[in-house]
Structure 1
């Protein structure tokens, strides 16, 4: 089995989402000792954001810049990662109600018509094989669940779920730590709750 582990937080060792994503991977390794891990740190080693140069190539133009060619290969590798993985773990903090630009950049590179989705008679269809499991390690400073007045501002988890469904990834589990900026006690309780959920994950 293969697991794809993606981190996108800019906080390094201070990141809650990175800590939780690492715990999820460790739990899956305990459940599946033969697991191979593909790791992508979208902050330390990010592909470029899409540009007019990318679009020119996508429309049939020549690749005249070696740097662009290398970047296009990196984007293709992101898609290969998804097809190779049986389990996908995404560390996804909330930044300004949405996902980090690094993670959005990855999404832009893997949502490619003809590769990960297509338009059929019934509309868009995801092309990734069924049966893949996705775990999202979500962290956010406020509270956006339940009857929170801020619930309508969640364009992080809702966006991720939608875009993953779009390319055929429908088995999604969210492990969430929220309220992290609402005092030390709230933060500690949220992290402890998330880690307890991770420890209880089944195969």
Structure 2
């Protein structure tokens, strides 16, 4: 199993999403190869030059345009090589962290991760799985104030990943058992996959 681990918590030590993902990886043991992408190491934001480079045919891009897309290409290469994505999703102000949004903007690329057809966009990364570790202090997953889980599910489907599992440690600041339940769930999921 080839796992792409995506950490998006601004906290590097003790973040609940990171601890839960550590638990998942350790439970898998040697059955998985893990590539780690820590989004606290800032990614460039999409800008006008990036859009122009992306909208230029690959064979016609200048050296500067290729350089502009180099981070995006590396991120997409990681996605293509993985069969399982493990995404840490801490909820910030009812949505995804800015660092995760920057990653999404870099990897959602026409002709690389999706294509346009007569019936609309078609995801090109089929046959992969995503496991999303959803952590919130007070936002219930799937509630009217959760603007992250449906968004992530949609983005995964948009690029072709329709097998999406959420492990939720939601409302952990209001429910002392939320983290324990999520830990049990992530361990059971790892045991099932190993």
TM-score, with normalisation over the residues of structure 1? 0.85
Partner of 1:114: 111
* Pairing 1:144–2:103 present: no
Q: What is the alpha-carbon distance in structure 1 between the residues aligned to residue 32 and residue 140 of structure 2?
A: 34
1:80 equivalent in structure 2: 77
Query: CA contact under 8 A between 1:24 and 1:89: conserved in structure 2?
Result: no
Task: Give the corresponding residue for 2:43.
Answer: 47
2:87 is aligned with 1:90: yes
What residue number does 2:102 align with?
105
SS of 1:76's equivalent in the other structure is helix
Coordinate RMSD, CA, aligned: 1.9
- In structure 1, stretches of 5+ residues that fail to align are none
Aligned length: 187
State the match for 2:167 in structure 1. 175
Task: Measure, in 2, the Cα distance between the counterparts of 1:123 and 1:78.
Answer: 24
1:58 corresponding residue in structure 2:
54
Q: 1:200 aligned to 2:192? A: no
8 Å CA contact retained: 1:177, 1:194: yes
1:12 aligns with 2:9: no
Secondary structure of the 2:13 match is helix
Unmatched segments (≥5 aa) in structure 2: none
1:22 is paired with a residue whose SS is: helix
For residues 119 and 144 of structure 1, do their structure 2 counterparts lie closer, same or farther at Cα, with a shift above 3 Å needed? same
2:146 — aligned with what? 154
Tell me how far apart the structure 2 counterparts of residues 58 and 125 of structure 1 sit (CA, whole Å).
Answer: 18
TM score, norm. by length of structure 2? 0.89
| Aligned structure 1 segments of 4 or more residues deviating by more than 3 angstroms | 59-65
Deviations for 1:30-69, whole angstroms, at most 9, x for unmatched residues?
Answer: 3xx24211100001x232011122123223364549xx92
Task: Check whether the contact 2:139–2:146 (CA below 8 A) recurs between aligned residues.
Answer: no
Q: CA deviation at 1:20?
A: 1.2
